[in-house]
Homo-oligomer: A and B are copies of this chain.
Amino acid sequence: MAVTIRDVANASGVHISTVSRTFSAPHLVNAETRVRVLAAADQLGYRPNRAARALITGRTHNIGLIVADIANPFFPPLIKAAEAQARQRDYHLFVADTNEDATVEEELVRALAKQVDGVLLCSPRMSNQLIERLRREVPLVAVNRRVGNVPAVLMNVAQGARMAIEHLLQLGHRTIALAAGPRGSWTGRELRRAATAAARSGGATLQVFGPNPPTEQAGRALADSLLRSGATAVLAYNDLMAIGLMEELKSRGVQMPDELSVVGIDDIALSRVTHPKLTTVATPTSAAGRAAVDMLLSQDRDGAAAGQIMLDTTLIIRESTGPPPG
């Protein structure tokens, strides 16, 4: 019932190999023949069967994208950009969600390995060791994680953290809290390292709270200890936590930024509509999605390792930061 290469061959009076070549190596077939074949093909509505093609060429023209949580607003722009870029290169994108679970993550890579040409691992939670191992089974690009020389697209959160801390120092803050992210997050480690260094060199103390899941919920839960800590400003692992925290504080009547300054990371859409609007470090998620796809595909073609790239972040000052009280 489906129209195959054979139908096209019959309809245009040539051998199937000629039809095949019309699509995959047009310069090898006579111009007249080519138009005849193409005419027949689109009159019949022929589309090459990708499974058959994959079987013989070994390339599926699919790529897998694995994220910790599709519903986390950080990811959709990345997914969107990756999908668009992939499609433009005639690739289709599998999307899979691990629910922040490292075990699921591994299983997913393995399950996908055979039916994709490569996998994009976004903010993976698994161990370095495992990533290096999986890399030998399937071409991989890590996003937001540096491990050995595994090809990676990184966002410069260290730089972002520095800018954020310097912004707070400049406002006069001397006791700053860091609402840390989940264990196993590369971004989280970078953040902590850079924030600590920046605070110290500015003569301030940085108090770390965590690890925490990267959720609004977790942000809420932090309100208590934060309030007791005496910190006058908080830098959160991501906007989601920052927003949760702000919600909780607001419900307790804490004025922001007058009583406490809050800075997030990511610049998700949400952060523009909170009250007060969130000061945050914007991460280039769309660019990262595109870059990751490009890196994966070029790696795939060359066989060569594709290196690692680091994308800059930007501090966006809105309304949730101000001078410390008193």
Task: Give the residues in chain B near A50, CB-CB below 8 Å.
Answer: 51, 114-115
Chain B nearest CB: distance from A106 CB in Å?
13
User: Measured between alpha carbons, how far is A92 from B54 in the docked complex, in Å?
Assistant: 17
A55 and B47 within 8 A (CB): no
Number of copies: 2
> Binary interface profile of A, 74-94, with partner B (CB < 8 Å = 1, else 0)?
011101100110010000111
Of the A-B pairs whose beta carbons lie under 8 Å apart in the complex, a sample of 25, sorted by A's number, is A2-B114, A47-B114, A50-B51, A50-B114, A51-B55, A62-B94, A70-B76, A70-B79, A70-B83, A71-B76, A71-B77, A73-B76, A79-B95, A83-B96, A84-B99, A87-B96, A92-B94, A92-B111, A93-B95, A93-B96, A94-B95, A270-B270, A270-B273, A273-B274, A273-B275
The size bracket of the interface on A is 35 or more
Indicate which residue in B49, B55, B92 contacts A52 across the interface (CB closer than 8 Å). Answer: B55
Indicate which residue in B110, B115, B275 contacts A51 across the interface (CB closer than 8 Å). Answer: B115
Chain A residues packing against B (C-beta within 8 Å): 2, 47-52, 54-55, 60, 62, 69-71, 73, 75-77, 79-80, 83-84, 87, 92-97, 99, 110-115, 216, 243, 246-247, 269-270, 272-275
User: Measured between alpha carbons, how far is A115 from B51 in the docked complex, in Å?
Assistant: 7
Q: Which residue in chain B gives the minimum CB-CB distance to A84?
A: B97
Chain B nearest CB: distance from A239 CB in Å?
10
Indicate which residue in B47, B55, B110 contacts A49 across the interface (CB closer than 8 Å). Answer: B55
Task: Give the residues in chain B near A73, CB-CB below 8 Å.
Answer: 73, 76, 269
B114 and A97 within 8 A (CB): no
B76 and A110 within 8 A (CB): no
Task: Give the residues in chain B near A99, CB-CB below 8 Å.
Answer: 84
**A76-B70, A273-B243, A273-B274 are contacts. A114–B49 as well, Cβ < 8 Å?**
yes
